[in-house]
Structure 1
Amino acid sequence: MTESYSLLTEQAELERFCERAGSASFLALDTEFVRQRTYFAKLGLIQIAVDDQLVLVDPLAIADLRPLWQLLANPSIRVVIHAGGEDYEILGQAMGTVPNNVFDTQIAAAFLGMGDALGYAALVERFGGPVLDKSQSRTDWTARPLSEEQLRYAAADVTYLQQIYPQLAAQLDQQPQLRELVLAETHFQVAKRQQQTPSELLYLFFGNAWQCRGPQLVALQKLLKWRFERAQAQDIPLSFVAKDNSLLELARKLPQQRRHLHSISELSPVTIRYAGEAILELIAAAQHESSADLVELQRLTDMRGYKAAYKAIKQVLDAQAEALNIGVGLIGSRRQINDVIHWFWQIPPALRKRLPKPDLLSSWRGELLAATLTELLEN
């Protein structure tokens, strides 16, 4: 495959490309986007390598990207991505769904023992490729025109991905059980990016919610819901609305007057100017509402039996990792263990129905572990 690329800026060009690519067995995909000052990522470029073609699709110049979305949704074409976390989210926003035929080379490399969370540049070098230029990694991909250096940088992200995929696939073909785990984990990560916790339940997963009781907890719940909905409505990052520390301090101190807001750490003057009244109204309302319907959380590590439960789960994961001949980190991390303990010990069954399951109870991990963990933690 040649390393030269075509920049597609016309509708007809995109349609011709998608028609030609429709018979391929796989394609390599990457996206470039900007998200520093917005809640939702802004798509700046889409790179695709398929057969002997390498194209850079300009989503700002082409009005109708449906031919491309249809190509990516084709179940006969494997979509190869490296570390696709945010790509899945962006594709979900743009397409309304995410391809279910994805192969993530970072996940494959991890299960093949090449290291957890292996970066693309490191993967390329591992397979004999060059040291990649990283100088454009912080560029504004929504600015136009894009420079030749930017376009070459973007093209390289799929050039080597297309070459590496067959080699990874060949290794996995020799280990069918491992191949199924890689595909299952990729499918799980794609699906996970489309899940969302209801805004009124965000407090259940706020790290320091255990510090709040009664009206403080009601205030925290309301503030977290308000921040999330405001960030989405205005398309700004959560931290631009208010930082975690500020929300916790607001909930604990329950300020009554605007002048009191200036003593809240990291609560910016801009937030006070534009949202001060809304914050005070939420706090006032919280003090007139019962917290009976909310879950008063405890600090997980202080709960009776925590250390024994953690140790028992770790032993289960170690045994399962040995049976599968994979690193235990691929099955569950400390955070994932804590998430499942929190789920069973602090989330009421009625609320669990409204929430995404923790990782250790989901997908292939759930098939292997759910029965054992349920028995262990519910008893």
Structure 2
Amino acid sequence: MKIQFHKNDLPADLDLGKIVAIDTETMGLKPARDRLCLVQLSAGDGVCHLVQIDSTGEVYPENMIALLNDDSVQKLFHYARFDVAVLLHTFGVSLANIYCTKIASKLVRTYTDKHGLKELCKELLSVEISKQEQSSYWGADELTEEQKKYAATDVLYLHKLKDILDERLEKEGRTELAQECFSFILTRAYLDLLAGEEFDIFSH
């Protein structure tokens, strides 16, 4: 694992390919309330790029936003609903071409109710990851090495998980269904920001 730390934005000449794993760290779990502090990105090559977001909101990460706005690049998340809402609220970015390993897991791992990243990595990749730093203070000016390693881990395995989940989706005949679910994520994020995560538009 290699970590590249960037203040405020990605380097202009960085090419992360056509499938980019993305995660976010915030001050809490309410996208409309809690500030975005860090964005993690990886091309699946064992290198994680950490972008620390300017706390004042005065520095706009142009290079990162250009990547997010590129519809030809697939954005790979675990629990995309939250990250997409955070990026939408913070930067006004309406992400397209989304893939969510948590949704894919729920469609093919119907034998369990455990669809967290830690459980997926353990079962599908035989990799143990730690969630110890999940609730740490991400708003600090200087992040600890433990925080950086934790943040990097959240994206380093997503490409491998996607490969396995794609095989299972195809085998179970649920690839198109998964894509329909992925296409709805942006709308779900808008609804979360509008009315909160407890709002279920499909309820009676």
The TM-score bracket by the shorter chain reads 0.7 to 0.9
Match of residue 21, structure 2, among 2, 13, 28: 28
User: Which of 44, 50, 54 is residue 48 of structure 2 equivalent to?
Assistant: 54
Q: Structure 1 residues 134, 196: closer, same or farther in 2, change over 3 A? A: closer
Query: Residues 56 and 111 of structure 1: is their aligned pair in 2 closer, same or farther, counting only changes over 3 Å?
Result: same
- Displacement of 1:197 after TM fit? 9.2
Alpha carbons 2:124, 2:161 under 8 Å: kept: yes
1:38 is displaced (CA, Å) by: 9.1
- Residues 311-367 of structure 1: CA distance to partner in whole angstroms, max 9, x if unpaired? xxxxxxxxxxxxxxxxxxxxxxxx887x22xxxxxxxxxxxxxxxxxxxxxxxxxxx
Q: 1:99 aligns with which of 76, 95, 98?
A: 95
Give the C-alpha shift of residue 140 in structure 1: 1.1
State the partner residue of 1:122. 119
Whether the 8 Å CA contact 1:14–1:57 is kept in 2: the answer is no
In 2 relative to 1, CA 91–38 (structure 1 residues): closer, same or farther, beyond 3 Å?
closer
Q: What stretches of structure 1 of length at least 5 have no aligned partner?
A: 207-334, 341-379
Aligned to 1:7, which of 1, 5, 8?
5
Q: Which moved more, 1:75-84 or 1:91-100?
A: 91-100
Alignment of 1:160-239 (within 5 A): 160-175=157-172, 177-195=173-191
Q: Give the AA of the match of 2:52.
A: D
Map 1:1-379 onto structure 2 (within 5 A): 3-9=1-7, 11=9, 13-17=10-14, 20-21=15-16, 24-35=17-28, 40-52=33-45, 53-60=47-54, 63-114=59-110, 115-116=112-113, 118-175=115-172, 177-195=173-191, 339-340=203-204
- Over 3 Å counting, the alpha-carbon distance change for 1:198 and 1:72 in structure 2 is closer
SS of 2:156's equivalent in the other structure is helix
The alpha carbon displacement at 1:186 in A equals 2.1
Compare the two structures and name the one with the higher strand fraction. Answer: 2
Q: Which amino acid aligns with 1:5?
A: I
SS in 2 for 1:183: helix
Asked whether the equivalents of residues 106 and 117 of structure 1 are also in contact (C-alpha less than 8 Å), the reply is no
Please tell me the residue identity of whatever aligns with 1:40.
R
Q: RMSD of aligned C-alpha atoms?
A: 2.9
The verdict on how the C-alpha distance between 1:198 and 1:51 changes in structure 2, with shifts beyond 3 A counting, is closer
Gaps of 5+ in 2: none
Equivalent pair of 1:129/1:160 in contact (CA under 8 Å) = no
What one-letter code is carried by the residue in structure 1 that aligns with 2:68?
Answer: L
Q: 2: CA distance between counterparts of 1:15 and 1:35?
A: 30
- Larger-Rg structure: 1
Give the Å deviation of 1:194: 0.5
Give the number of the structure whose residues are more often helix, by fraction: 1
Give the fraction of aligned pairs with identical amino acids, expressed as a percent.
22
- Letter aligned with residue 163 of structure 1: K
1:140 to 1:113, Cα distance in 2 relative to 1, 3 A: same
Once the 2 structures are TM-superposed, how far is the Cα of residue 87 of structure 1 from its aligned partner?
0.8
Task: Please give the secondary structure, in 2, of the residue aligned with 1:162.
Answer: helix
Question: What displacement does 1:96 show?
Answer: 1.3
CA distance in 1, matches of 2:193, 2:7: 37
CA positional deviation for 1:37: 9.2
How far apart, in 2, do the equivalents of 1:28 and 1:74 lie? Answer: 14
Consecutive aligned runs of 4 or more in structure 1 exceeding 6 Å deviation: 196-199
Query: In structure 1, what is the Cα distance between the partners aligned to 2:163 and 2:53?
Result: 28
Q: CA deviation at 1:64?
A: 2.3
Q: Report the CA distance shift for 1:125/1:64 in structure 2 as closer, same or farther (over 3 A).
A: same
State the 1:25 CA deviation. 2.3
Q: Which amino acid aligns with 2:108?
A: L
Shift of the 138–48 alpha-carbon distance from structure 1 to 2, 3 Å rule, reads same
TM-score of the pair, normalised by structure 1? 0.47
1:167 is displaced (CA, Å) by 1.9
Aligned-pair CA distance for 1:172: 2.5
